[in-house]
Structure 1
């Protein structure tokens, strides 16, 4: 069985207040869900929906503010958001400086290309967060993923 092709994405959207626009023009490297406690706090729900894209595929117009924190892997994780309305824009890890982690919901109405293939950090998945049963679950990071 062959792996499904990764989509080439061409989308553009603005944050809640319209001060910052973000676009993706390029390939999607990976798509997954994450139930780590940091993602739960950042999204206000039980998991995040993430697409990984090369840094060069991400365009940003307007202002962004960043917040750094240590991650479970020992890397520094940086979340970027609109400084006016707080809308999450993207994340990046010091372990993968050329990759951007995009919250798929930012592109609401333009994200039918999203097809997650796993849930990471299932150890902290909330019982009320009904993630699709068919997705493989990993207690922390996917074994061998390096991220």
Structure 2
């Protein structure tokens, strides 16, 4: 299976050639809460070479609590979040599940930065949980 994605207005699209993501994570860090209007973000992590974007992306960068520079990419026309890129994991792209076309069948296998989650957050107990920065996808937990 490969994946495709489109923003709300159709100006940005993606084709992802990976058959499955490296990881699927739900993130409750403060930056993701800001990007998601108070909730979490839900993201599929893919090898960078598998993600092909068509269209013009807007971006903004900041130093995340992990110490890495995180760049968020979005459609400048409609604001749809597309993906993120960490300076500490340049070989990976973190694609927003809401950007992917329906029918992708992905759900988070880990919930991260749970210490930043608001008291009302519903943390999926079926998923692995990390209070802060988790190990890189594919790396064992310490």
TM range (shorter): 0.7 to 0.9
Unaligned runs of at least 5 residues, structure 1 = 1-8
Corresponding residue for residue 136 of structure 1: 128
Size of the alignment, in residue pairs?
Answer: 136
| Separation in structure 1 between the aligned mates of residue 16 and residue 102 of structure 2, nearest angstrom | 14
Q: TM-score, normalised by structure 1?
A: 0.85
Alpha-carbon RMSD across the aligned residues, in angstroms, is 1.6
Corresponding residue for residue 9 of structure 2: 17
| Separation in structure 2 between the aligned mates of residue 99 and residue 32 of structure 1, nearest angstrom | 13
Corresponding residue for residue 94 of structure 1: 87
Q: TM-score, normalised by structure 2?
A: 0.88
- CA deviation profile, 1:20-66 (whole Å, cap 9, x unmatched): 11121114111111100100111114211111101111111111011
Corresponding residue for residue 49 of structure 1: 42
Corresponding residue for residue 33 of structure 2: 40
Whether 1:121 and 2:106 are equivalent positions in the alignment is no
- CA deviation profile, 1:69-96 (whole Å, cap 9, x unmatched): 0011111000011111111111000001
Corresponding residue for residue 110 of structure 1: 103
